[in-house]
């Protein structure tokens, strides 16, 4: 055989190998209920030693066991507490914002004693009135996707200077926001309605904490805690979702120091990847009084063991920096998971939780989200709160609000709508009003 063609073929294969290596493998996605595998959910009320949890005191120990497993195998470990040098400064206040309908505050939070270190920018709207004119307000807290200016067209909101994911529709140019991003997600926040109901609403751009790309986990907050790169960090080190969840607790630290906000009545909320984040933040930080998951899907409210819609392998392949590296061990073997998302929801008990789905959002597995909320019920019952109280998934646009757990599925797609906000406000009226 002539060796020259062989060498030529080998050279071509070597040259093309990076191209083929960069091409993600085909990952099957199931949308057929008939193909959901048989599964057995781990019982949140059976301890690691096999003993039954029958008392609230025993649940406290079991809760720590579950937090340990979720930390080690799914989300990665979170550093305890806030950094010693963390401090903040209110940079602007307008008590006649939105045409006199709200007070607007902007607060810069530094995570070290240095002003050139990692930071986040907190935006707060609250019902109008002079300082000290009202008793402290309950509040909603959540991340936004395109800078604080995306939540309302208010020209007084400082334009974010942080890195952002490319998005031509939302006028992200050169990975930076433009003036055209003002109010592009206003419908997802419905600020005027929330404030008119007597609530404050606070938000931070999630990219302030961790850029939503692989490099993000080794920058900013990730660098502060020496996380390492997405592929070289410890197998149980946190990823982006863990960092984002940590940031929500730090935002709550700031709200707790504001005499106009009642930090004991704060609802943490999030949509999609930020819904996963809200659940993990609420599971860890028991100061959040209400936790809201909107269309959070795999790694959020949906049961992983159903392998319906987005699955563990797909999410770990698409976003290898979101979760702990250990989570990849369950790619195509969800049945081997030691925990599932009903236990994550149970970690919020006895505090209130609201899980929401959208009829057309099969990627997020609405049925799996409902079942996770339902199977958290025994823990709520143990702690004296009623779970969903229904066995079957409710009809579209027919919300079920239990004493501790609420669920609704609405018509439409993957989004947050005024319908969702109306349900969250109704729920908040029940659990945050005094």
Run of H or E residues at 318: helix 312-318
157-184 average pLDDT score: 89
Question: Which strand ranges, in their side-by-side order, compose the sheet holding 261-271?
Answer: 87-96, 102-110, 119-126, 200-205, 137-144, 261-271, 290-294, 352-358, 405-410, 400-401
pLDDT level of residue 133 (50, 70, 90 thresholds): confident
Share of the chain above pLDDT 90, in %: 88
**Residue 374 scores a pLDDT above 80:** yes
Whether 220 and 211 have beta carbons less than 8 Å apart is answered as: yes
Model confidence over 278-333: pLDDT tens digits?
999 999 999 999 999 999 999 999 999 999 999 999 999 999 999 999 999 999 99
- Region of 226 please: left (phi>0), alpha (psi -120 to 50) or beta: left
261-268 average pLDDT score: 98
β-bridge mates for residue 266, sequence order: 139
Q: Report the C-alpha gap between 104 and 92 in whole angstroms.
A: 8
Predicted pLDDT at 8: 41
**Residue 14 scores a pLDDT above 60:** no
379-384 average pLDDT score: 97
Q: Determine which one of 71, 272, 293, 357 is catalytic.
A: 272
Closest CA to 53 of 287, 289, 349: 349
Q: Report the C-alpha gap between 263 and 255 in whole angstroms.
A: 6
3-class DSSP assignment, residue 25: coil
93-122 average pLDDT score: 97
Q: Characterize the bridge pairing of strands 290-294 and 176-177.
A: unpaired
pLDDT level of residue 3 (50, 70, 90 thresholds): very low
For this structure, is 272 an active site residue? yes
CATH superfamily assigned to domain 56-431: Alpha/Beta hydrolase fold, catalytic domain (3.40.50.1820)
**Residue 108 scores a pLDDT above 90:** yes
* Ordered DSSP codes for 176-218: EE-GGGTTTTGGGT-HHHHHHTT-EEEEEEGGGTS-SSGGGGG
Model confidence over 67-76: pLDDT tens digits?
999 999 999 9
**Residue 347 scores a pLDDT above 50:** yes
**Residue 131 scores a pLDDT above 90:** no
Q: Report the C-alpha gap between 97 and 80 in whole angstroms.
A: 37
Across the chain, what does the average pLDDT equal?
93
**Residue 24 scores a pLDDT above 70:** no
């Amino acid at each position: 055989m002539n060796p020259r063609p062989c060498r030529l073929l080998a050279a071509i294969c070597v040259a093309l190998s990076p191209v083929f290596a960069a091409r993600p493998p085909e990952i099957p996605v199931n949308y057929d209920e008939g193909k959901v595998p048989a599964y057995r959910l781990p019982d949140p009320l059976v301890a690691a030693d096999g003993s039954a949890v029958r008392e609230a005191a025993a649940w406290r120990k079991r809760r720590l066991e579950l937090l340990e497993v979720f930390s080690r195998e799914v989300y990665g470990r979170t550093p305890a507490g806030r950094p010693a040098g963390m401090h903040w400064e209110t940079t602007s206040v307008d008590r006649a914002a939105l045409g006199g309908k709200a007070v607007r505050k902007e607060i810069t939070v530094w995570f070290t004693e240095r002003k050139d270190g990692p930071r986040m920018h907190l935006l707060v709207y609250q019902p109008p009135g002079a300082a000290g004119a009202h008793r402290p307000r309950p509040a909603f807290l959540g991340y936004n996707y395109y800078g604080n200016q995306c939540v309302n067209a208010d020209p007084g909101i400082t334009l974010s200077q942080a890195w952002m994911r490319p998005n031509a529709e939302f006028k992200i140019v050169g990975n930076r926001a433009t003036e055209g991003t003002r109010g592009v997600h206003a419908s997802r926040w419905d600020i005027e309605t929330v404030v008119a109901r007597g609530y404050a609403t606070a938000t931070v751009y999630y990219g302030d904490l961790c850029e939503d790309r692989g490099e993000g986990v080794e920058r900013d907050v990730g660098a502060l805690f020496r996380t390492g790169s997405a592929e070289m960090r410890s197998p149980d080190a946190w990823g982006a979702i863990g960092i984002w969840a940590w940031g929500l607790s730090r935002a709550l630290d700031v709200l707790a120091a504001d005499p106009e906000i009642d930090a004991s009545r704060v609802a943490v909320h999030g949509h999609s990847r930020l819904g996963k984040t809200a659940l993990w933040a609420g599971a860890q930080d028991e100061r959040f009084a209400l936790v809201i998951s909107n269309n959070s899907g795999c790694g959020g409210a949906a049961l992983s063991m159903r392998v319906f819609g987005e699955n563990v392998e797909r999410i770990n392949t698409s976003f290898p920096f979101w979760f702990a590296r250990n989570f990849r061990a369950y790619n195509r073997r969800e049945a081997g998971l030691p925990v599932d998302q009903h236990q994550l929801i149970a970690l919020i008990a006895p505090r209130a939780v609201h899980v929401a789905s959208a009829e057309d959002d099969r990627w997020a597995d609405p049925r799996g989200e409902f079942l996770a909320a339902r199977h958290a019920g025994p823990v709520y019952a143990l702690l004296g709160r009623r779970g969903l109280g229904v066995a079957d998934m409710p009809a579209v646009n027919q919300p079920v609000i239990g004493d501790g757990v609420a669920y609704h599925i609405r018509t439409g797609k993957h989004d947050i709508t005024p319908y969702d906000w109306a349900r969250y406000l109704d729920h908040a009226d029940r659990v945050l009003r005094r």
